[in-house]
A and B are shown apart, each in its own frame.
Chain A
């Protein structure tokens, strides 16, 4: 990736810092969307094929806007597909949570519950960003993720407080995914100037409100909050799980087989 150091209106913030921020948020959305897309035709009922498709489409839309913006900041500028299809694994900045392979439906809902709670807190603050493009993207996304969060909540309630089997599966899923949610709230990867200048949102500040909401849902669903240590996870700095390579191989192979082609 080409780097420049021109300021973009925020003291001390380089163009590439803003681009990297947009790319990280876009990578979260793209990779989460890709995993949800794997569900299509396999959902527990037809209505859920529609709903998961909707959520995947919203996330894909967010990724595209974020990539288009990030790409425009680079020198020379690159397009959304350059960022999605022609970056190698180590250049992806998404949290490991969203790349983890699909399990049963409870696993997907556990992940969506925390991820959408995080995204809602993030985007509802990013609408105030000093960067007008990021603010506009956030204003669109916040409405979408409010629906995603509600959808996940409804299912976690149904599964947690449904049958003995669904309760056990939902608890198992929550226990397994919980350690990977901590990375959403880590701030070390982000250029501090972006937060200080009001361009980016401090991820650490989102933990309290997002997790308070999640805990209330978990309790209402008659589930127990997992008592587990955070996973050691480095997705935000481009060190991913082994599953990420396979996900990208599938996502990218066709585009890479025809370099320079338009579709």
Chain B
């Protein structure tokens, strides 16, 4: 890293495992892949505020309310710097938001599931943020500099969120009978969708090969999924909660946990737009954008008036 660099063409940078920076030449397809991935990631952060925001006004203690508020705020912040990272590739936040609102760009399907009880806030922190960390830690070494640097900060905050989610579930699991049942129910509902966050199996993943060659992606979907399972099973034991998979067992030979078959037909249905909350999440986002239009217009008009007055 650092300037002057020994190599400067795109292929040489990738081969030398150096970072590609915004002003470097890069293939159009590399740029397009990054825009798609970073946009999807940014959209996931802001859509992901909704299922958790659903419990902000109902958090059962003031301490939990403060923690959740700070977390949702962090996610808005992640969205902001991921949109900024995408902007270094020549697309504006407005364009990306328009694409999201028009259904042309996606966000993580996990957020198309509803948060039905308070324990879901813990399950999202522990499982969903846990899976996101496993996905995102390798992105800190992604070949595109601005994305990699954004991910360093995102990952630090996500690991904090994951610990908070674990602690929330631990409290519920060791609380009253009703609280324990609430925690188990949430884990039952969030476990399989969390495994689906790693995407389709390797033999069905369309983008993996090229992304790995470009140093955007460092590990395959199945590798990361296994890493998540191996990390999570002992944590579930520590929580005193059961993961809803009767086929889960330790494999001595592989030094890994075997787990049951994932029903990817469900994932594909949710990706296609048929999940429990797809329409609701998008409508909510579009509503916020449309209802805020007059405010953003006022801010622009005011800024223009100010600039004109300063010139005069």
State which of B56, B63, B179, B297 has its C-beta within 8 Å of the C-beta of A40: B56
Question: Number of A-B pairs whose CB atoms are under 8 Å?
Answer: 141
Which residue of B has the minimal Cβ distance to A249? Answer: B58
Residue numbers in B under 8 Å from A260 (CB-CB):
176
Known contacts: A37-B56, A41-B53, A46-B46. The answer to whether A163 contacts B301 by CB under 8 A is yes
> By the criterion of a CB under 8 Å from any partner CB, how many residues of chain A are at the interface?
49
Which residue of A has the minimal Cβ distance to B49? Answer: A41
B76 contacts the other chain (CB 8 A): yes
CA distance A56 to B284 in the complex (A): 21
CA distance A159 to B297 in the complex (A): 9
Type the 1/0 row for B45-76, where 1 means its CB is closer than 8 Å to any CB of A. 01001100100111111111110011011001
CA distance A134 to B262 in the complex (A): 57
Is the beta-carbon distance between B77 and A50 smaller than 8 angstroms? yes
Is the beta-carbon distance between B61 and A81 smaller than 8 angstroms? yes
Closest beta carbon of chain A to B136's beta carbon, Å: 20
Closest beta carbon of chain A to B86's beta carbon, Å: 13
Which residue of A has the minimal Cβ distance to B93? Answer: A46
CA distance A53 to B62 in the complex (A): 15
Is the beta-carbon distance between B171 and A161 smaller than 8 angstroms? no
B295 contacts the other chain (CB 8 A): yes
A130 contacts the other chain (CB 8 A): no
Is the beta-carbon distance between B76 and A49 smaller than 8 angstroms? yes
Is the beta-carbon distance between A81 and B62 smaller than 8 angstroms? yes
B250 contacts the other chain (CB 8 A): no
A225 contacts the other chain (CB 8 A): no
Q: Given A60-B62, A165-B297, output 15 extra A-B contacts at Cβ < 8 Å.
A: A38-B57, A40-B73, A49-B49, A53-B70, A54-B73, A60-B66, A64-B66, A158-B298, A162-B301, A166-B294, A255-B60, A258-B178, A261-B175, A263-B168, A263-B172
The 9 closest A-B pairs by CB, nearest first: A44-B292, A162-B298, A166-B298, A44-B295, A53-B73, A158-B302, A49-B76, A254-B60, A263-B61
Interchain residue pairs with CB less than 8 A apart (12)? A40-B56, A42-B284, A49-B73, A50-B76, A64-B66, A81-B61, A84-B62, A165-B298, A166-B295, A258-B178, A261-B176, A262-B171
